[in-house]
Copies of this chain bind each other. A is one copy, B any other.
């Protein structure tokens, strides 16, 4: 079995590859996986489809490359943000803020993965494309598991949030991907402040809701 699907070893991208990936991320983000045609991706770079197919086997492979690079950068940032904190609550807070900040920058690539991965899986014909998409899904799951563990560590031991609460928490963080890109041109400090505000709101939700659970059952 060839190990050409090694999910970690992506030594470097060519400038030509990065240009294609940037155009693909932008168009996949705007129009979705099915809505964005490879001709449109190529035209965005002033090129034609032959160039895209020279570097990527299929539309699905291009999709996977976009999201895989985004996950590389995201995981690096999360690891860097979580490392200096030993206190569980501070760790979780830093992770959440770093997660949202990473989504704000790199917005296009993360919209791609969050919204279009199902569509890509349906359109995939080749077996290796399916395998690459499945690897990406597993990577999403393991990434979310890291947050689940951080939440469990930060929450009071007698009232750990359940799976639904964790999913709701993560969706609150990922909600920035759906915000209209109107105020996209904010300063770096603005973005960090926005990320921290969203992270705090989501954190209050999980922790507080789990603390005194099943109290106000009646309206």
Chain A interfacial positions (CB closer than 8 Å to B): 31-32, 34-35, 85, 90, 93-94, 97, 115, 118-119, 122, 164-165, 167-169, 171-172, 175, 178-179, 193-194, 196-198, 200-202, 204-206, 208-209, 213, 216-217, 219
Pair A175/B165 contact, Cβ less than 8 Å: no
How far does the Cβ of A79 sit from chain B's closest Cβ, in whole Å? 16
A-B contact pairs, 8 of them (CB 8 A): A32-B34, A94-B219, A168-B175, A168-B201, A201-B209, A204-B204, A204-B208, A205-B208
CB contact between A208 and one of B35, B178, B208 (< 8 Å): that residue: B208
C-alpha spacing A16/B204, complex, angstroms: 47
Q: How many monomers of this chain does the complex have?
A: 2
A209 touches which of B32, B164, B179, B197 (Cβ 8 Å): B197
Contacts of A178 in B (CB 8 A): 167, 171
Within 8 Å CB of A175, what residues of B?
167-168, 171-172
Chain B residues, CB < 8 A from A216: 93, 200
Interface contact A32-B119, CB-CB below 8 Å: yes
Closest residue of chain B to A161 (Cβ to Cβ) is B201
Which residues of B have CB within 8 Å of A85? Answer: 219
Smallest CB separation, A159 vs chain B (Å): 13
Question: What are the 3 tightest A-B residue pairs by CB atom distance, in nearest-first order?
Answer: A205-B205, A171-B175, A201-B209
